Structure 1
Amino acid sequence: MSDLLTVVVAACNEAESLPRLHPRIIAALEAVPGLQGRVLYVDDGSSDGTWPVLQRLVSGDVRVGAIRLSRNFGKELALTAGLDQVTTGAALLLDADGQDPPELIAQFVALWREGYDNVFGTRRVRAGESWIKRAAAASFYRVIGRLSRTPIPADTGDFRLLSPRALAALHQLRERHRFMKGLFGWVGFRQVALPYDRSPRLAGSSKFTLWKLWNFALEGITSFSTAPLRVATYLGLFTAVFALAFAVWVVVKAALWGDPVAGWPTMMAVILFLGGVQLIALGLIGEYLGRLYDEAKLRPLYFVDTRIGGTGVSSGHPSRQGASSHVDGAATVGDEEG
């Protein structure tokens, strides 16, 4: 019996890249002996011609399916929507921009067949990216690797293969603030890295600006570490000790040498410093409190607008064993089976 593998590709405004990427995916799947391969595309609310392109790809091959989300939910939720459709076999995540080579599918499958549940691609080279983006990414992975108790491999993105049991475990994690790289590591099981060289984009430009990358970094750190709250605690303790020592110095100075009028700059510097420390602490608390507020709403993670294709798309939702029974990860509206 052949192994079943679904390649999940989340796309947002990638109408130029997909026609060039799709033939490479199909060729890579066909090159693996004993593998039953299929492809599932997720259109994350694209505003260009991505959906018509996907319709053409689906109509030309029964192994290909696609779902269209009701709006843009972001890459993390688009990946979740795609993985939720895979109820049998393994899944391989692939970016739609072509930077992660589908030609490595055979190596991913070989490691999966050796018994690994999470085979993740680790980037040796990041071609086509500015030095600022490379430096920021490298710094982020090092920082979160030290702050988080969950193992998050450095220089590793979403390009990975998940075995059926790793996929089933991931289906049970239904939090709304989803840092997928952390969730992949959190479920555990046997993991192995597959080093590779990342290529430039096939077409277009990256959707991740520095501002989006900064917010993404905050999402990852606050999702998998409480270290910022501890830093705020230690900063407050240090400030209190410093303030107490300064107060003692003021009393001793007044007792020994009198109490001339204190300078205005010194007083303002102390007030502004203490105010800044308090605002930083409140901001950190607000970040975590805001995430609790979003989780408490219990909203569905996403909505599916349209579903087309045959074997590439599951008609049902994955098991939610171990998850909250009243949280549905995916609602379907206006489904169309093709």
Structure 2
Amino acid sequence: MKNLSAKLPHSPKYSLIIPIYNEQETISELYHRVSQIMNDLNGQVELILINDGSKDRSLELIRQLHQEDSRICYLSFARNFGHQTAVTAGLNFARGEAIIVLDADLQDPPELIPEMIDKWKQGYEVVYAQRIKRKQEGWFKRFTAYAFYRLLQLLADVTIPADTGDFCLMDRKVVDILNVMPERNRYIRGLRAWIGFRQTAVLFEREPRYAGTVKYTFRKSFSLALNSLISFSRVPLRISTYLGLLSAILALFMAFLVLYWRLIQTNSPVTGLATIMIAIFFLGSVQLICLGILGEYIGRVYEEVKGRPLYTLAEIVGFEQSHATDS
């Protein structure tokens, strides 16, 4: 979907994009803190809320906020399509010269936005928030996040900054490029790194979730991590080749051992059924791993060629007008 900025004579200068999924406990505080930042911004501003198929009162609260504040626009998906798709929809509809993406749980502090805008005014096209500390998160979460980002940096074809999420500011030219990129399995923080341009970090300590339950469960986080590795690295495919070569070398080695045992040590205790079973299980596991890796890549090709839209919208409200900053 093309962005709408060219269709309006008075497009806002700043667009704030916030995906919403079952966030009825946080929406009021979120608006309170974000609106203070919006009031201080020098220029027209719009706040784009994307309801990602919420099952609680989130959509009702979003409608109320739109009636109270004309700067608020919102999109409502026909069903849940996921966080990355919700961010993509916001980018498709954003009309600002600088576009800021943040989460609704207030772990991304809105108070960081003015500093990001200052960096943008200095000439940086991408300003991403980089976590230096995760407050009140368990050791397992911290360890897996640390390990994932370092593994991604090691394997990815482009340098994706460690300890960064989707909280960032992007220039209009960057968002325009993102909007014409056709891929469906989107990893926004990887795509913005792939695009290039001048990028810099703003450091912050990540606060605990303000209220409600964590939406990025371990299963969703693992799926996102796997998607990022498949999308930005061919190393898993090469692992299949390496495993095949390793199994071939081991098989050749075992052949020499079998000949040695048969000809020299006819009573060797390591011959027999146990050795055969170990070899079968090893070769079978290598084949299944290789098939799984190939299946991940083929599955992404299948998703791309179907050509379905990324999302379907039940409501599009507030984009027919320009939004002036309240003073």
Question: What's the TM-score once normalised by structure 2's chain length?
Answer: 0.91
Contact (CA 8 Å) 2:243, 2:286: kept in 1 or not? Answer: yes
Match of 2:7 in 1: none
The Cα offsets for residues 120-177 of structure 1, whole Å up to 9 and x where unpaired, read as 0001121232221121111110101100011110000000000011111111112111
1:42–1:254 distance in 2 versus 1, CA, 3 Å:
same
Higher mean displacement: 243-252 or 89-98: 243-252
Task: Supply the RMSD in Å over aligned alpha carbons.
Answer: 2.0
Match of 1:47 in 2: 55
Contact (CA 8 Å) 1:6, 1:312: kept in 2 or not? Answer: no
Partner Cα separation in structure 2 for residue 120 and residue 49 of structure 1: 31
Alignment of 1:279 onto 2:279: no
Alignment of 1:249 onto 2:225: no
Partner Cα separation in structure 1 for residue 306 and residue 95 of structure 2: 27
Alignment of 1:153 onto 2:153: no
Percentage of identical aligned residues: 39
Shift of 1:233: 0.9
Match of 1:331 in 2: none
1:183–1:43 distance in 2 versus 1, CA, 3 Å:
same
Shift of 1:31: 2.0
1:49-88 equivalence runs, <5 A: 49-88=57-96
The one-letter code of the counterpart of 1:300 is P
Alignment of 1:30 onto 2:22: no
1:216-255 equivalence runs, <5 A: 216-255=224-263
Contact (CA 8 Å) 1:77, 1:178: kept in 2 or not? Answer: yes
Partner Cα separation in structure 1 for residue 202 and residue 268 of structure 2: 69
Contact (CA 8 Å) 1:57, 1:64: kept in 2 or not? Answer: yes
Aligned residues: 313
Shift of 1:260: 7.7
Partner Cα separation in structure 1 for residue 107 and residue 156 of structure 2: 27
Contact (CA 8 Å) 1:44, 1:72: kept in 2 or not? Answer: yes
1:158-169 equivalence runs, <5 A: 158-169=166-177
Shift of 1:193: 0.4
Alignment of 1:129 onto 2:137: yes
1:192-211 equivalence runs, <5 A: 192-211=200-219
The Cα offsets for residues 244-265 of structure 1, whole Å up to 9 and x where unpaired, read as 1211222233233458893211
Alignment of 1:18 onto 2:27: yes
> Which among 142, 147, 150 is matched to residue 142 of structure 1?
150
Shift of 1:181: 1.4
Shift of 1:284: 0.6
Match of 1:269 in 2: 278
1:291–1:312 distance in 2 versus 1, CA, 3 Å:
farther
Question: What's the TM-score once normalised by structure 1's chain length?
Answer: 0.88
1:68–1:10 distance in 2 versus 1, CA, 3 Å:
same
> Which among 288, 294, 297 is matched to residue 306 of structure 2?
297
Match of 1:306 in 2: 315
Partner Cα separation in structure 1 for residue 214 and residue 264 of structure 2: 66
The Cα offsets for residues 171-222 of structure 1, whole Å up to 9 and x where unpaired, read as 1112111111111111111100000111111110111221221121111101
SS in 2 for 1:108: helix
Contact (CA 8 Å) 1:12, 1:46: kept in 2 or not? Answer: yes
Shift of 1:290: 0.7
Alignment of 1:93 onto 2:101: yes
